[in-house]
Structure 1
Amino acid sequence: MRNAWSGILAIVGGLWLIVLAGLPLYVFPAVDDVAPSDVALVLGPPMEERLALAAQLRDDGVVQRIVVSVQPAGGQTADDIPLCDEASVTCAVADPYSTRGETQLVDAGESVIVITSTPHVTRARYLFDKCHAGGVAVVAAGGPETFSAWASQYAYQSAAFVKAIAQPCP
């Protein structure tokens, strides 16, 4: 019985360590100050909060162009997003269809403000620092709203971080 309790305590303790280690990465990531840049890049999926922030940055003169990463099919395509019909907005499907591919949606050397969800900020910064030659600022717009969504993001972002470290840039 004592061994069973020790095992349970070790598992619970390990889970708490993972949760605590993830807080600065996924829940309270460092976001960059916004400064005038060449382009705002909305990472997929193009959620309303991200699109609104990109439009606001353009309207405020912080960026001149917006690039939106859209899905190839099944909703959230360029045809589904009114912003894609505006001048100075480009909507494109990343190749590969991942954050790694999204680093290639803007020209090398361009300064970019990357707009993504809160739990994705740290991994997006890592990939853009690794794969994009221009200046990068990463900001958050929106994030999970439920405990289960946060738990899912912890697992997904952690696994995706391992993949980001292991794979070369496109």
Structure 2
Amino acid sequence: MIRAVRRVALSGIALVVLITLIGLPVYVFPVVADSPRPVDVIMVLGGRQDGREDYAISLAEKGLAPVVLVSDPYDQTDPYMQAICDRPHAVKVLCFDPDPRTTRGEARFLRDQAAQNHWNSAMVITFTPHLARADYIVSRCFTGDLVMAEYRSHLDVPYWAYMYAYQTAGFVRAVAQSGC
């Protein structure tokens, strides 16, 4: 009986280690991460409100893009987003409510704005564990030159574990959906 419990426990530990190792290049050290470079537009994906909005605006203000699209997918009025969206900036900042309020809705908004404004290149900024999935989804909608830039924020171990599960489920859902 003890041997069986030990085998199950070791198998469980081995599975966790395997999943962790497989996820490292996808969620922790995403191979799709690019260095920021000049583009027609920078888009910030909604999420943790961790500073990525100000990071994107600072990149634009350094001359990497004349326009920043900031996703505001929150249901209620949010003081953090109001401070970003209502504050004057040295570049054009356009806050938008994606439809649907997902990465797919954000990608569709970028596609539509790119067509209207004749943008051929875009930088998309999101936090590290979301980068690979965001690249997969946005690439299905935006066919121009796409730069995927990560915003590194501090994440504790339980949140990393949650992100592994959440992003994996999101990948499964994205693969099951067709088109943009």
Q: Identify if the C-alpha distance between structure 1 residues 143 and 168 changes in structure 2 by more than 3 Å, giving closer, same or farther.
A: farther
TM alignment of 1:6-155, pairs within 5 A: 6-30=7-31, 31-45=33-47, 47-76=49-78, 80-86=82-88, 88-106=92-110, 107-108=114-115, 110-155=120-165
Amino acid at match of 1:94: P
* Alpha-carbon distance in 2 for matches of 1:48, 1:145: 11
TM-score, normalisation: structure 1: 0.89
Q: Identify if the C-alpha distance between structure 1 residues 9 and 167 changes in structure 2 by more than 3 Å, giving closer, same or farther.
A: same
Amino acid at match of 1:155: A
TM alignment of 1:150-161, pairs within 5 A: 150-161=160-171
Amino acid at match of 1:12: I
Q: Identify if the C-alpha distance between structure 1 residues 46 and 62 changes in structure 2 by more than 3 Å, giving closer, same or farther.
A: farther
3-state DSSP of counterpart to 1:81: helix
* Alpha-carbon distance in 1 for matches of 2:141, 2:80: 25
Report how many residues are paired. 170
- The answer (yes or no) to whether the contact 1:46–1:70 under 8 Å persists in 2 is no
Q: Identify if the C-alpha distance between structure 1 residues 130 and 79 changes in structure 2 by more than 3 Å, giving closer, same or farther.
A: closer
* Alpha-carbon distance in 2 for matches of 1:120, 1:13: 25
3-state DSSP of counterpart to 2:51: helix
Structure with the bigger percentage of helix: 2
Shift of 1:76: 3.8
Q: Identify if the C-alpha distance between structure 1 residues 54 and 134 changes in structure 2 by more than 3 Å, giving closer, same or farther.
A: same
Shift of 1:62: 0.7
3-state DSSP of counterpart to 2:147: strand
1:7-49 alpha-carbon deviations (Å, 9 max, x no partner): 2211211111001111111111131122211111000026242
3-state DSSP of counterpart to 1:105: helix
Q: Identify if the C-alpha distance between structure 1 residues 15 and 79 changes in structure 2 by more than 3 Å, giving closer, same or farther.
A: closer
Gaps of 5+ in 2: none
- The answer (yes or no) to whether the contact 2:50–2:153 under 8 Å persists in 1 is no
Q: Identify if the C-alpha distance between structure 1 residues 165 and 33 changes in structure 2 by more than 3 Å, giving closer, same or farther.
A: same
Shift of 1:68: 0.4
Report percent identity of matched pairs: 35
